[in-house]
Amino acid sequence: MHAARFGAKAVIGIDASEGALDLARRNAARNGFELRCRFEAGNVFDLLKAQEGEGREYDCIILDPPSFVKRRKEVENAVRGYKEINLRAMKLLRPGGFLLTCSCSYHLSEGRFREILLDAARDVGRTLRLVTLRSQAKDHPVLLPLPETEYLKCAVLQML
């Protein structure tokens, strides 16, 4: 809704959950954006790959996947998943376009997240400019004795 509210001419939301998509459709209608927002059910990996094959391009892509890693021993599989989803999105961005990408995996450090993004950009032959790297908002407090409470990462990148 923020993208539509702040000027996006068209917004496409993709989610595997029909329930989440129904909520998104109702929210778009409540906010007067039903004509600019549409929502599709599907696997985002498959849809991004298909859109690359169709030659689609976007000015902005927002990735907010579920946690790809629940346990430390799953980190390497998660790294592959994060790299793949970001690589696919980067291939669809116009020069100058923006990628807003998130991770909610505690076991994936901020440094490793940045490495994944850099590796994906190298693989697609693009240069990234880091606009900002954020953590969680105040409604997700970080408790110093519980490091696992600091788990959200969000990078805003510009493809050059």
Q: What is the pLDDT of residues 34-83, one digit of tens each?
A: 999 999 999 999 999 999 999 999 999 999 987 777 777 778 888 899 99
Query: What's the confidence (pLDDT) of residue 156?
Result: 98
| C-alpha–C-alpha distance, residues 79 and 120, integer Å | 11
- State the average pLDDT over residues 80-90: 95
Q: Are strands 37-41 and 11-15 parallel, antiparallel or unpaired?
A: parallel
Is residue 38 located within the same domain as residue 70?
no
Q: How many domains does the chain have?
A: 2
Please indicate, yes or no, whether residues 30 and 61 belong to a single structural domain of this protein: no
- Please list the active-site residues: 104
* Residue 87: closest CA among 112, 63, 54, 69: 63
Residues 107 and 134 in one domain: yes
pTM tops 0.85, yes or no: yes
pLDDT for the residue 115: 96
Residue 11 pLDDT exceeds 90: yes
Q: What is the phi/psi pair of residue 152, to 5°?
A: -85, 135
Section 22-40 average pLDDT: 96
pLDDT number for residue 107: 85
Q: Are 128 and 159 in contact (CB under 8 A)?
A: yes
Residues 69 and 37 in one domain: no
Residue 49 inside a domain? The answer is no
| pLDDT single digits (tens) 96-154 | 999 999 999 888 889 999 999 999 999 999 999 999 999 988 898 999 999 889 889 99
How many residues in total does the chain contain? 160
CA 125-80-21 angle, 5° bins: 95
